[in-house]
Structure 1
Amino acid sequence: MFSKTCEYALRALIYIAQQSKNDSRVGIKDISKNINSPEYFIAKILQDLSRKGFVQSAKGPNGGFYMDQKNLNMSIADIVREVDGDKLFSGCGLGLEQCSETHPCPLHDQFKSIRDNLRQMLENSKIQMFVDNLDLQLTYLKR
């Protein structure tokens, strides 16, 4: 459903948020190890997300990535849109460019409701929610 880049971005941001408690910062090696991602790939993704304000970074011996309260209130949909674009929320189920209300594909009506439910779920899913569930051990990022 998501691109590999988006999957890594989501996992990394949730992990960073969880580790950001008490003003902690987390490095690339730690992130990579704990979300099962290639180090160079996650570094590139986080560098881009940092420039765009989805995560903060600090250089130096006590440096690393961290999140503030604003970031914790981001929706998963915001991250998906930034990394993968809006296609998941507006695209055709068959990938047709001309699919619309007036010119629907065979899956249009069914896919539209699924797509709308998915958008709503991801809009209502905030980073903080995932951190809370991880802390309660209701969910996990790595097994």
Structure 2
Amino acid sequence: MFSKTCEYALRAVIFLARQSEDGKRLSIKEIAKGIGSPEHFIAKILQGLSKKGFISSTKGPNGGFFLDENQKIQPIKDIIIEIDGNKIFSNCILGLSECTENHPCPMHHEFKPVREIIKNLLDRYTLNHFIEDKKLNTTFLTDKINYN
């Protein structure tokens, strides 16, 4: 559904949210290991997200990546749009460039409400949801991530 870059970005930001809850700052190495990503790849993603204000970072011996309170309440839809653009919410499910309301593909009218449901879900879900899930131990992201 998402590009590999977007998947890694989401996993990294969720990992960061769950690990830096108490003000802890995480290094690229810690995040990359935690989500099973190559360090150089996740470094580039995180630097871009930091420049755009989705996450925060500080340099130095006690530096690293972290989230402030405003970043924790931002919808994950915004991160998706930053990385992959708006296509998941607007493109044809069959990948047809000419699919429109006036010239629909065979699945257009069936998929349109599904696309809207996905958009609304991702707009409602914030990083705080993942922090709460960790506290309640109600969900997991992958068996490769160790949150303890």
Scaled by the length of structure 2, what TM-score is found? Answer: 0.93
Whole-angstrom distance in 2 between the partners of 1:63 and 1:44: 17
- In 1, Cα distance between the equivalents of 2:62 and 2:95? 46
Q: Check whether the contact 1:36–1:142 (CA below 8 A) recurs between aligned residues.
A: no
For structure 1, the residue ranges without an aligned partner over 5 or more in a row are none
Instruction: Work out the CA distance in 1 between the residues paired with 2:73 and 2:25.
Output: 18
What is the letter of the counterpart of residue 91 of structure 2?
A: G
Query: What is the number of residues matched between the two proteins?
Result: 143
Corresponding residue for 1:92? 92
Contact 2:21 2:131 in 1 (8 A): no
Contact 2:17 2:130 (C-alpha < 8 Å) held by counterparts: no
**Offset of residue 140 of structure 1:** 2.0
Contact 1:89 1:116 survives alignment (8 Å): yes
TM-score, reference length from structure 1: 0.96
The answer to which of 93-102 and 77-86 deviates more is: 93-102
- Computed over aligned residues only, the root mean square deviation of the Cα atoms, in angstroms, reads 1.0
Matches within 5 A, 1:45-60: 45-60=45-60
CA distance in 2 between partners of 1:142 and 1:104 (Å): 37
Q: Who is 2:26 aligned against?
A: 26
| 1:1-143 paired onto structure 2 within 5 Å | 1-143=1-143
Mapped to 1, the partners of 2:141 and 2:31 lie a distance apart of 11
Contact 1:35 1:141 in 2 (8 A): no
Deviates more, 1:91-100 or 1:43-52: 91-100
- List structure 1 segments (4+ residues) > 6 angstroms apart after TM superposition: none
Hey, what's the Cα distance between the residues in 1 that align with 2:33 and 2:116? 34
Moved more, 44-53 or 18-27: 18-27
SS in 2 for 1:23: coil
